[in-house]
Structures are given as C-alpha cells and as structure tokens.
Amino acid sequence: MLRPIVMMTALALAATSNAQPATPDQLQRLMAGNARYLSGQSTHLNQDHARRAEVAKGQKPFAMVLSCADSRVPPEILFDQGLGDLFVVRVAGNIADSNALGSLEYGAQVLGARFLMVLGHEYCGAVDAALKGGRAGGNIDSVLDAIAPAAGRAKADPAKTDLLDRAMVENVREVLMAISKRSPALAGMAAKGELKIVGARYDLDSGAVTPVTAGK
C-alpha cells in the first residue's frame, strides 16, 4: 500500500521543482471557449479518436475547475473543451472538502495544471438548502455545514435583492478562502506565481461565466 503513495509523493515533488509559472493564457483559453459556447459556435475540439488515443497515454490538463455536481453545469461543455484539457473536480456546492483539495493538489503538483477556477452557479440547490436551514440527514449535512458561513454572510448583507445569488457568490469566496487556509500546497504555489486561482459564476439562463472577486 505504501508504494503508490511514495511514488505519487515523488512525482509531486518533481512536478513542483520544475513548475512553470501561471500565465493569463489559461483563463483566456477558458473564456474563449465560453464565448464560443454562448454564440452557439462550439468547436467540440479534442473529442475525436486521435485525441482519445493521445490522452490514453497520459494527461496534462491546462486548467482545473472546482465546480458543483449540478447536472446543468458541465465545465467541458460550457468552456468548449475536450478530452484531457480540464481536470474537473465536482461536488455539490463546489465545496473544498479534504477530498476535493487532495484532488486539486494532485492536479497541480503531479499533472502540472497551473490554473484553478472555483465555479459557482445560478440557482444552486445546495446553497438554497443551506439558506433555508434545517437538516437533511446523512452526509448531505456535511455539505450544508460547509456552505453555512456563506449563507450567514449573505443573510446579514443589507442588500435586499436576490439572496440566493448573493449566497452563491459568498460561497465561491468561502471556497477561495478555504483553499488558501487549508491547502498549504496550493496556497504556496499561488504565492510563488506557479498557480493562478480565481472565482467565477455561471449563469444558467445565459450560459455566461463571469468573474467573482475574492472579496474581503
């Protein structure tokens, strides 16, 4: 059991020691894909037999996306990307639990991804449930607990418009803070300019992805 862990650790150290800097190119590539998706001109690139054969030998995704598990929010489609382009971690409410963080650390340290987007979305059911309070039972409660701080901040906001959307944005900010506090590996790479971490909001109605600032 120890050998795979030792091998992964060695790979992570090697990847980190040879880390390339993050550049604006990764974000531009994602947003260009979203623009194609919005205009109905998706190219569906990197989805053919040749690409499948290529990535079967290994992967080197150019970006990571931490997004909600919602069936209406598939990152590869809304960014018009293909096989091997994105390292996607999906969990209800796009929360940064230990499994999500471990997956992202693997994507950055071992696979070499230099860009991470935390993607919240309009009409998020997990955020809505956290706003309404109560307990769902089972493991669902751990998701609601993770979103609760963001829901509390949204409720305390004097603004009276669109509580659900404000809570979703606050949750993206909460996740950005959680990454910086709970993942020394990702935070360290970001501090050295080896990883760019951003927040974003996906609009289910329009299909547009827009930035979410980290906030205070």
Put simply, whether the predicted model's pTM sits higher than 0.85 gets the answer yes
What's the whole-number mean pLDDT along residues 3-9?
A: 50
- Two tokens, residue 202: 């996906």
Least confident span in 18-22, 57-61, 130-134, 149-153: 18-22
Instruction: Tell me the per-residue pLDDT of 27-61, one tens digit each, with 9 for 90 and over.
Output: 999 999 999 999 999 999 999 999 999 999 999 99
For residue 156, give the amino acid letter. A
**Displacement of CA 114 from its chain's centroid (Å):** 13
- Two tokens, residue 123: 């009409």
- What's the structural domain count of the chain? 1
Which residue range is the domain that position 148 belongs to? 2-212
Report whether 80 contacts 34 (CB < 8 A): yes
For residue 174, give the amino acid letter. E
For residue 20, give the amino acid letter. Q
Residues 6+ apart with CB under 8 A from 54: 84
- Residue 8's pLDDT band, with cuts at 50, 70 and 90, is low
CATH assignment of the domain containing 30: 3.40.1050.10
The Cα–Cα gap between 201 and 164 comes to 13
CA-to-CA separations, 166 to 6, 68, 93, 124, in angstroms, rounded: 43, 16, 14, 11
Q: What is the pLDDT of residue 66?
A: 98
What's the whole-number mean pLDDT along residues 161-190?
A: 97
